[in-house]
Amino acid sequence: MKQFLLIPTALTLLLTTTLVIGQNTRFSDPETVISEYFWGDLYAGGGNSFFCDLPFTSKGFVLTDGYVYPLADVRSALNCGTSRQCEQDNRYRQIASDMHNMVPVRSRTEMGRRNVRYEDLGPAIKADECGIRQSAQFFEPPARVKGDVARTVAYMVDTYKLPWLGAATVFKGWNQLDPPDDGELTRHRRVAEIQGNENPFVTDPERLERL
């Protein structure tokens, strides 16, 4: 009898694990997720902007909801048309609702990231006050979040079969340079609780090397 009871328990644990590793299946309404869960829950008490690490107590006018893997690139990869047309595509809505890819960003920074690729630009390009290096076509985040960027991009590439936004070797290097810290792990746990799935590249960074 005990053996019989152990089998369902093991299956339950296996199914639970399966449910939390994979894509976002809980949300498919980006506007609701952004207002109620991103700003209304995850950052309800404030936080720090992602790239510049500036503290904030509320969204205000200088911050916006940014995407590490920009939605313009998602639309291009899915070939679903204009922004309005893609909003009718269930797969796009699901991807656009994934909180693992959402970060609080200064509006000015977010506008400057449009249509760029991630790259190591080196000291030839002067870093701004946030530690960002940027050219007309490339964007290098501050060293303290390079690993965060790499693990998020890897998650989007692996989970939704999207193309890399730069050379895979660059992201693998960033992953090694900047391993998950307490802030990234804490945020990851909260997103997983809200959304119901994990980013396995945060919990197992070496997974990125096998991608």
Average pLDDT, the chain: 89
Query: Residues 155-167: pLDDT tens digits?
Result: 999 999 999 999 9
pLDDT of residue 27: 79
Q: Model's pTM, two decimal places? A: 0.88
Please give the pLDDT value at position 20.
56
Q: Give the least confident one: 1-10, 78-87, 142-151, 191-200.
A: 1-10
57-68 pLDDT per residue, tens:
988 889 999 999
pLDDT, residue 9, reads 33
Mean pLDDT (whole number) for 41-59: 95
As beta bridge partners, residue 104 has 65
**How sure is the predictor about 112, in pLDDT bands with cuts at 50, 70 and 90?**
confident
Query: 2-38 pLDDT, tens per residue?
Result: 333 333 333 333 333 433 567 787 878 999 999 999 9
- The separation between CA 87 and the C-alpha centre of its own chain, rounded to angstroms, equals 19
**Structure confidence at residue 114 (pLDDT):** 78
Give dist(CA 140, CA 92) in Å, integer. Answer: 26
